[in-house]
Amino acid sequence: NFSLKGRTYVVMGVANKRSIAWGIARSLHAAGARLVFTYASERFEKSVRELADTLEDDTSLFYECDVTDDDAVTKTFEDIKNDVGTIHGLAHCIAFAKKEDLQGEFVDTSRDGYLLAHNISAYSLVSVARAAAPLMTEGGGIVTLTYLGGERVVKNYNVMGVAKASLDATMKYLANDLGKDAIRVNAISAGPIRTLSAKGVGEFSTILKKIEADAPLRRTVTQEEVGDTAYYLLSDLSRGVTGEIIHVDSGYNILG
Ligand code: 0WD
């Protein structure tokens, strides 16, 4: 039985209807899960609540959580524990880099920009996993979102590629630590999708066109396709899988 009825999942990083996190939320909801949304600041609260309102029989809960603040992360999961008790998994869909660091040459990345990108995009998974693990009393799944630019050089992706490489390794070390508590940690390497964050990457349209021309499936992927893979990784369907990176990218990563 792979229904998620009676299960609760935390979804971090819904900014608007184009967010990959929203695709994940819809897949989990369709499978019967109850959802807990976290958003970076008050600025996003209204749009997250409005989106959740569109879900059938919505029972979602909402919390502010700026992942650069350890106390905020701890408090968020304490609040979630008090309000819902046990959670069964979490989707971490959070990243950030300065726009100036997502164009031109990587060699020009400032110390500030480098640390900021790693803080929000990679360390946040450590801090969130530490705070969330005690709530997964029946075991659980953690999924993060990564990109090919962490495995090889992708033009303009620059400091975010280096942060994704760190995120990939972070995911594996966490999988090793948390496996003894029956918590699995995996990543989805999504192909490029037009979102708020993607707007920051220089020449993003060119990247999309390349996928349409060259990827084995000759098309880009959707938030829904990433969402369904997250459902697989957060459900018992994937119960033997941890420390894995699954590419949901129309097969683009196999090309030399
Ligand atoms: O092509 C793409 N769009 C791809 C995205 C391809 C492969 C991977 N990804 C990754 C991104 O790198 C990111 O890790 O997917 C993840 C989600 O990104 P997205 O859906 O493309 O972008 P967006 O809709 O802009 O969501 C990014 C979230 C926002 O949501 P909320 O509602 O939580 O604010 O990251 C959030 C950002 O605000 N975010 C933060 N959340 C908490 N604390 C912070 C922060 N300090 N900074 C940014």
Q: How far is CA 162 from the centre of its chain?
A: 17
CA atoms of 168 and 244, how far apart (whole Å): 9
Are the CB atoms for 142 and 132 separated by under 8 Å?
yes
Sequence-ordered list of residues with C-beta below 8 angstroms from that of 181, at least 6 positions apart, any chain: 133, 136, 139
If you classify domain 8-247 with CATH, what class do you get?
alpha beta
* Residue 161: predicted pLDDT: 98
Annotation says 157 is catalytic: yes
Please report the ipTM that was assigned to this predicted complex. 0.93
* Residue 1: predicted pLDDT: 64
Question: Which residues form ligand 1's pocket by a CB distance below 6 Å?
Answer: 13-15, 19-21, 39-40, 44, 66-68, 93-96, 120, 145, 147, 190, 192-193, 195-198
| pTM for this prediction | 0.97
Catalytically annotated residue among 123, 147, 232, 252 = 147
pLDDT in tens, 72-131: 999 999 999 999 999 999 999 999 999 999 999 999 999 999 999 999 999 999 999 999
* 221 pLDDT tier (thresholds 50, 70, 90): very high
Q: What is the mean pLDDT of residues 205-225?
A: 97
